[in-house]
Structures are given as structure tokens and as C-alpha cells.
Amino acid sequence: MSLRLLQLQCTSEPEGELAELIDSQPVLSRSECTDEGCTIQLLLRAEHAERVLDELREAIEDGPVARLCLLPVAATLPLLEDDEDDVEDAQARDEESPIASGRISREELLSDIEENLGITRVFLFTSLLATFVAALGLVRDDDVVLIGAMVIAPLLGPLVALSLGTVLGDFSLIRRALITTAVGAGPSLL
């Protein structure tokens, strides 16, 4: 069972709908609110993280939450016990869709993909290396060397980001992915 730690950094004590939403979740810890704010930590199952983040996003529009941080939990003691309702829900969900049990949130996916989207020296070097290996394969008429150029795959990260941006309708992500793809594919066109 994967767990996520959701930290809410608040400028003041949460009230109204936001307070009700926080109280309905398993609160791991809560610091006392001072003039500088407070931090609330929620321990969630990974498959519930996206739903809770969506609900919090709606509730914090004009609220006291300054930042939300979602962190993976490697281990926890004492172990969380599954109550019967959670076990029945998990079994029903697994029967409907075996993929849903290992799902991560959109925010985690975006964070992972954005790490591979920058134009770095490593990206430029692997793009040039893949171009050189592909040119060598074409000159020698060697399929194995061409496959080797594909294995280097420097454009895989930007193309996955382009796909995710298209699915989510995130035009900023699409633009950044296209720019990175153009920079990476540029040497091969010369």
C-alpha cells in the first residue's frame, strides 16, 4: 500500500469548508497556528491523493493555504490498519480496473515529467550522440547501429511531456515540450 504525505502550509487557521475537508482526512500532525502560520500534515493512501488534492484545490481558492506539498512515504510505524470498508472498496476497485490500484496523481506525474523536460548539457550531449550513432548506422547500412541510436532515446522525455500536455490540455507544457523536441532534433536535421 503506497502512502502520500500531504503538507498544507497555511497563513492562518483553516475555516469553513476547508476545515471540514481537512478534518475528514486522517490528520497526522498539526502545528499550532501563530502569526506566521501553521503546517498541517495529512497521511493519505496514494490512490486517494488526487481526489483530496482536487477537493483542496477547490476549497483553497481564497483561503489561508499558501502551499500544498505532496511527498511519498517510504515507511510508517505503527503500520496502518485497513478497516473493512477500505478493504471492500479496494477489492471492488481492483475487480473493476486493475490499473486503478497503482495510480498516481496528476501532480506527481507532472512533477516527474517536468524533471526530464529541461534543455541540459546531458540532453544536448545525448542528442548529439544519438545523431552521430544514427549517421554511422546509415553510412555503414547497419540496422543494429540504427537501433542503438534509438536506444539512446534523448527525445523520449519531451515526447512523453508532449503527450501528457495534450491529454491534460496544458498548453504551457506542450509549448515547452515542442521547444525541447526541436532543440533535440535540430542536430539530426543538419
Which residues contact residue 67 at a Cβ distance below 8 angstroms, ignoring those fewer than 6 apart?
7, 8, 9
Which residues contact residue 38 at a Cβ distance below 8 angstroms, ignoring those fewer than 6 apart?
9, 10, 12, 13, 30, 31, 32
> Checking DSSP bridges between strand 3-10 and strand 27-30, what pairing results, if any?
unpaired
- pTM, full prediction: 0.62
The 10s digit of each residue's pLDDT in 64-90 is 777 888 888 888 877 766 655 554 554
The CATH homologous superfamily for domain 3-103 is BMC (bacterial microcompartment) domain (3.30.70.1710)
Tell me, what's the pLDDT at 176? 93
The 10s digit of each residue's pLDDT in 105-163 is 788 888 888 887 888 999 999 999 999 998 999 999 988 988 888 888 888 999 999 99
**Could you state, in order of their start, the residue ranges of all structural domains in the chain?**
3-103, 113-189
Please tell me whether the peptide bond between 72 and the residue prior to it is cis, using omega within 30 degrees of 0. no
pLDDT of 178 over the 90 cut: yes
The 10s digit of each residue's pLDDT in 8-22 is 888 777 777 777 777
**Among all chains, which residue has been given the C-alpha cell 481526489?**
51
